Structure 1
Amino acid sequence: MKFSALGDQAIIVTFGEEIKMGIYEKVQRLFKALQQHPFAGMIECVPSFTSLAVYYNVYEVWKRNERSERSYDYVRQYIKELCDSYKEEVKHDVKHISIPVCYGGEYGPDLEEVAHYHGLQVEDVIRIHSETTYFVYMLGFTPGFPYLGGLSKELETPRKETPRLQISPGSVGIGGNQTGIYPLETPGGWNIIGRTPITLFNPKEEIPTYIQSGMYLRFIPITKEEYVSLEGAKEWM
């Protein structure tokens, strides 16, 4: 467990460098512990693949610890002691979701390039990508963008040398050893192999993101006709 300052109002607690379940569970354990036992002045916690960012009000922390030490030092010590004393198990409500994807063509302009890079047929890329069950480690980059663990090494593909200035919402991409879905229209450098018709982010909903951290996810290949009939749907299956 390593600590580092993020400006003067946050601390990052890092548990490792690899994307794997054991490290994810340590991040979630501290996240849960701080939610249940927040220190005075804590604002919020943001989990990622391997670390937890803890944001706080510098003045409130300094005031509550009787101004005897720097806010950063106080928060670091608080987290160390909490990690040592917190014994509760982290339990997850396991939820599996399926995401329909139309691969290739206008929806996946880089599918053939990815297949060529690996010496595979397009059908092989679709099969390998869709037969895997992925774990949603975190959301980031843009609202609702899921970072998924579990991409087959057979499909690991370098990001594009020149990013696109505009990627359509729902685009499914591969970047390095990760795969994910662009919920909003944004620039991006991942290889786009398909697109889902499902709306992944709606700020008007009580829960605006369709995909949540901690879910298990599979991609289901669909035809162009099925894509058109589902376009804009809020959920599927």
Structure 2
Amino acid sequence: MIQFTPVGDSGVLAVCGSEISEQVNAQVMALDAAVQAAQLPGVVETVPTYAALLVTLDPLQTDADTLIPALRRLWDALPPVSSTAAGRLVEVPVCYGGDYGPDLAFVAQHAGLTEQQVIDIHCGRDYRIFMLGFLPGFPYLGGMDERIVCPRLQTPRTKIPAGAVGIGGKQTGIYPLASPGGWQLIGRTPLRLFDPAGGGKLPYAAGDRIRFVPISPEKFETIQKEQGAAL
């Protein structure tokens, strides 16, 4: 049962469910697409999350009392949504271990596995992007294998390089920019995921799927040179 709640005078929060699941997230993405296609007057931006959609509005053009009925009509008109109806599949090359993934050994020890087994498990499935947040373009990925679940660092690092791939609890993700962070770093991608100078366009969006592809250090250096130095 969807719930619509005003957020101050400049937004409406549409909560599609109470659990993290691909089915609920697919409903969020479907509503997001419908809102964008409808071009409702006064709507400024939409922000899809795990189980909710934030619709921001211009209070000089509309208000929650006007927007909520319009959103409900869009919701009621949605066709049945499948959890498998995802967007694009984006392959992300990753060099695992060593200087690229300094915490791979710890993750392997914590899981009772070899480092290669952790790599194989991490690369062995596609991950749905449930939402973007924390940093510009940081993908929160669902569906990680329970065998490689690992706690965050007790003391976060003050700087993590752009492209670092980490595990934090039951989630895995990619740091698009150099930043502080507390996830266990198991590898790094040479792809330049977020470039403010290039307009900030990302190679993926919420609702897409990511597949990690292991590469050698030599391949990492080649791709990085082709793309330019990471931010």
The alignment's TM-score, normalised by the length of structure 2, stands at 0.88
Match of 1:84 in 2: 76
Task: Specify every segment of 5 or more residues in structure 2 that has no aligned partner in the other structure, as ranges.
Answer: none
Name whichever of 151-160 and 81-90 sits farther off: 81-90
* Superposed counterparts of 1:21-100, under 5 Å: 21-61=22-62, 71-87=63-79, 94-100=87-93
Q: Distance in 2 between matches of 1:163 and 1:2?
A: 36
Q: Secondary structure at the match of 1:136?
A: strand
Q: Is the 8 A contact 2:160 2:179 kept in 1?
A: yes
Moved over 3 A (4+): 85-94, 204-207, 232-235
Q: Is the 8 A contact 2:90 2:203 kept in 1?
A: no
- Deviation track 1:85-138 (CA, whole Å, cap 9, x = no partner) reads 445979968432221111111111111111111111111111110111112222
Task: Specify every segment of 5 or more residues in structure 1 that has no aligned partner in the other structure, as ranges.
Answer: 62-70
Q: Secondary structure at the match of 1:59?
A: coil
Name whichever of 176-185 and 93-102 sits farther off: 93-102
What number of residue pairs does the alignment pair up?
226
Q: Distance in 2 between matches of 1:82 and 1:211?
A: 25
Change (3 A) 1:158 1:171: same
Q: Distance in 1 between matches of 2:19 and 2:150?
A: 18
Q: Distance in 1 between matches of 2:79 and 2:127?
A: 29
Change (3 A) 1:232 1:148: farther
Q: Which amino acid aligns with 1:59?
A: L
- Deviation track 1:56-76 (CA, whole Å, cap 9, x = no partner) reads 112321xxxxxxxxx333322
Change (3 A) 1:105 1:8: same
The alignment's TM-score, normalised by the length of structure 1, stands at 0.86
Q: Distance in 1 between matches of 2:47 and 2:87?
A: 21
**Structure label with greater radius of gyration:** 1
Q: CA RMSD in A?
A: 2.4
Match of 1:7 in 2: 8
Change (3 A) 1:224 1:203: same
Indicate which of 202, 205, 219 corresponds to 1:209. Answer: 202
